[in-house]
Amino acid sequence: MPTKPKNQSQKAPQGWRMDPIPSRPAYRDDDGNIRVPVWLTKNGRHMADTEMVLLPSEAALLADNLAKAMRDNSRSMLHEIFRESVTALGPGVVYVSKPDQYRL
């Protein structure tokens, strides 16, 4: 059943959008395909829960492309949360300084 957007002051991107369902992990089905549970929304309104079905080679390509995009073009979620108090020491390793309280 479609739902209305919750916050009218924050406009959702127009058109179709596909988001992973955080509470449902991706899994491999009996045929060996990778299934990723997703929410489909249109103009900010929830339309359906479904699954993106990928061959293992397609899933590997998607994972590689996502990892590259995250590494090259965006800040990590920790950087967004802790802003200037985080220093990346290596892949998956960060240093969080505590001079004051965290500024969120």
Encode burial over 73-100: b for 16+ CB neighbours within 10 A, e otherwise. eeeeeeeeebeebbeeeeeeeeeeeeee
Closest CA to 34 of 3, 61, 16, 2: 61
Q: Are residues 66 and 81 both part of a single domain?
A: no
User: Does residue 5 lie in a domain region?
Assistant: no
Q: Are residues 69 and 97 both part of a single domain?
A: no
Number of domains into which the chain is organized: 2
- pLDDT confidence tier of residue 91, bands split at 50, 70 and 90: low
Range of the domain at 45: 10-73
User: Does residue 1 lie in a domain region?
Assistant: no
Q: Give the per-residue pLDDT at 68.
A: 82
Whether residue 84 is predicted with pLDDT greater than 80 in this model: the reply is no
pTM value is: 0.56
Q: Give the per-residue pLDDT at 104.
A: 47
